[in-house]
Every structure is written in C-alpha cells, then in structure tokens.
Amino acid sequence: MDGNEWREKLQRERDQYYLEVKNSRWTDETFARPDDEPLTAEETAAVDAYWGRYSFAYPEIDYKSFRTFKNRCGRFDVRHCPEAVRKVIFKRFFFNRDYAFACQNKGLMDYLYPDLKKPRTFLRRLDGWFYDEAFRPVSREEAVSACCEHVREKGDLIVKCSGISGGHGIAFLTAKNAEPGHVGELLDGGFAGSSLVIQEVLTQSPFMAAFNASSVNTVRISTLLFKGEVTPLAALIRVGGAGSGVDNWCSGGSLVGIDMATGRCLDWALANDRTHLSRLPSGLDLAEKPLFVPNFDKLREQVTRAHYRMPYIKLISWDMAIDETDEPVFIECNFGGMIQIHEATTGPVFGPLMDQLCEEYLLKRFFLRFAEGGFVCKEYHDRVELERYTGPGGTVTVPDRLRDKPVTRIEPGAFKGCRVEKLAASQAVLDASPAAAAAVGAHS
C-alpha cells in the first residue's frame, strides 16, 4: 500500500475504535432506572479530574454510567469501571482469543481444573461425538440409553451446552421426560454449538437453598491476573427466581453482594428490575441477621489458585456452588463475565487496583495507529513510535514530533525490505532504536 492507502486504512481503524467506545455504553444503560438521582456537581468534577487523564483512550466520559452505578450500589466512586473501558480497552489485554473458546468448553473442565470439586459429569459431547465420564467414546444409542437408565435408577440429570450464557442452553432430565425420543433430541443438538455435558444434579447447602430452593444458587467470584499475581476482586450470590431451575439474574433472579474480607452477605439484594429487596421471594429476610457464606475463605483460595492455570485470560468470573456438606463446587468459569453485576452490588470491581490498571493499559500500553510522513505510527497518549517505513527510500529524516507529540522510538524491522541509505534522527530516537538504526548504518 502507498501512503494514502495507509492513511485511509488507519483512519478507518481509529474511527471504528471510537465507534466501539460509544456503542459499548448500552450494557451499562440496562442497569439504569428512570428515577436515578443525578450526580452532584462535586461528583461530576471528581469524574472529570480522574478520567480526564485518560481522555486519549477514553474520550467522551459516560457520566450516565457513573450515575447508574452510584444509584445501584448506593455510593459514588470515581473508580467505577464503565463498560467502554472494560470491553474496548481492558479486553485488548485481558482476553486472548486463541484460548477463549476451547478453555470455556464445559466438557474439558475436568482436564483444566482437576483439583476443583465438580458435579459428576456423566456424559459429554465434544465435536459431535459422545464420551463417557472417563472420556471413552460411546455411540449415540449408548448415550441415550445410559441417560434414561441413570434417571430411572439414580436420579435427575442436567444438560448444559457450552457457548451459551444467561441460563439458556440448560435442560433437566427427570422421571417425567427421560424417554429415548426426548433424550435423543437433546443429544442431537437441540442447542446451538457442538459441545455439551450431562451431569448429575447437585444437592446444595441448606444455607444456599434458603435463598431459593428451586435453583442451585451459585457464588459468582471474579479474579484478576495482573503482573503475575491473582487477586480476588468481588463476589456475590446469584439467586434464581421463584420456581426457576437456573440462578441467572437476567432470567428473573436476584443478586446478593458478598464482603470479600469476611464472606458476609449484604442485607439487601438487587432484583431483576434494578430495585433493592431486603426480603427475597423465598421469604429469606436478608436484614434479619448476618449471613455468612460457608467456607468462603476456602472458595476464594480455590479460585485464586485455579486462575494460575489460565494465564491467557486475565479476568475470570467463576461460578461456585456450595454442596450439602458446605464444600465449594466448581460449576463453570466465564471469560466475558458481566462485571456490572459486581459494580451494582458491592461497588467498583477493581477497587484499589483501578489506578494501576489505568496507568498500565490506558497510558503505558494503549495506542492508536496512523500514517504520516512516510511512516506507519503508533500514537500513545504522550508520544509517537514509528512502526514501519512506507516511503521511497534514500535518505530518511525522522521528524522530532508528530501530532504534537515527541517521536521517541523506531521499532525493529521498520525498514525491512526498504532501500534506505541513511537515517537522520535525533540522538535520543537513535539511542532508543538501536536495531532500526543499525539496519541502515546510522551509527558512525
């Protein structure tokens, strides 16, 4: 491509980035209510002071997001993380696509997290083929027959499909429906995707059942791997709606925040309509007496340790049940878990780490590309680095400044395949770019 083609291409990339930032606001808006109290003048000024430093990466501050989550969790904090920052900026560094799909496959959890207690996986379908508990292949007919026999002799089964969120893609096999025709329909792909697991139904702790008896209610706990260390960030209980078999908030459930230090539940729940409840539909009064999640310290330690097995995903939301013996039981992990449910209950999910994350990912490492002066450039908030040369060759002069920012470095390989005879640049740029300078014999 010539210089004009590069300019047009990179301008489209930049425009697309800003459009993504703008469009990502819709998720936060789903948590708003018409009667939300506005930010005060002091709160708005505090948002400006904090986030104004990051305007290159995060332009046009979404004040409504700060207003929304102030009203949901009951307090204002500038460290609230708008979805535009989490989804469009942090995700660049938190999420490795090469590992995301395979490493959320429910059928592979026994491999990835062997140390975590899990519901027994009775059967699994991987890439269209059926396997038993020990990963031995079985035929479709054998799988159908085994499911029917298990329900008849041992109890209910739950069918879960990978790649589907919000409680969708879940079905139960009971004495009422576990006949070959119905089971065959489920196993043949009644859900989108090619992977599913069939597990024995977990009997949950009486403590968890008190929140809602019809669903296995889970602790959603999110962890962050940052600079080699895993930090448990926030936790809550996902409570199923009355009569529901799933615990998902978007399916009519509610959320009860948990204090990370003590495992104590908040004395209110966030209902699906974004209101606060002190008494759940089950009759449990959250404000009557302190409620502590059984073995919360152990649960927190287990997911922290497990995250080190998945270093390619920096932010993971773990769903953990508590069984009838009060032991934590791993259900699944989510690489795109909705952090808003934490922000809406216990407040800013990244807490004290927010300053460090913004410094690392919005200032030090965030850049947008542009083409100018015969170079493809990386523009950071405070500097420009030259990525590759696109000009005709000969004597190349590197400008001291581009877009009113100092040019500080030339990347190795920037002149690969180019006929550059001499490089003229400031000594600081040459010192910061020895490989590029040496490639054209710039040092004398």
**Domains, the chain, ordered by start:** 3-76 (no CATH), 96-119+203-335 (3.30.470), 122-201 (3.30.1490), 368-439 (3.80.10.10)
Q: 224: part of which helix (H) or strand (E)? A: strand 218-226
Give the residues of the chain that fall short of pLDDT 70.
Answer: 163-168, 189-194, 245, 247, 250-251, 441-444
Q: Are 337 and 91 in contact (CB under 8 A)?
A: no
The pLDDT assigned to 171 comes to 86
Beta strand 368-372 with 375-379 is: antiparallel
The pLDDT assigned to 194 comes to 66
Tell if the pTM clears 0.75, that is, is over it: yes
d(CA 249, CA 272): 6
The pLDDT assigned to 420 comes to 86
Q: Which residue has the tokens 């581009």?
A: 402
Q: Is the dihedral of CA 314, 342, 236, 214 positive or negative?
A: negative
The pLDDT assigned to 310 comes to 95
d(CA 309, CA 106): 16
Q: Are 133 and 123 in contact (CB under 8 A)?
A: yes
The pLDDT assigned to 84 comes to 92
Burial class (CB in 10 A: 0-12, 13-18, 19+), 339: buried
Q: Are 296 and 304 in contact (CB under 8 A)?
A: no
The pLDDT assigned to 340 comes to 95
Alpha carbon of 313 to those of 44, 109, 248, 317, 421: distances in Å?
33, 15, 23, 10, 44
Tokens representing residue 209 in the block: 């059942």
Tokens representing residue 98 in the block: 């090469």
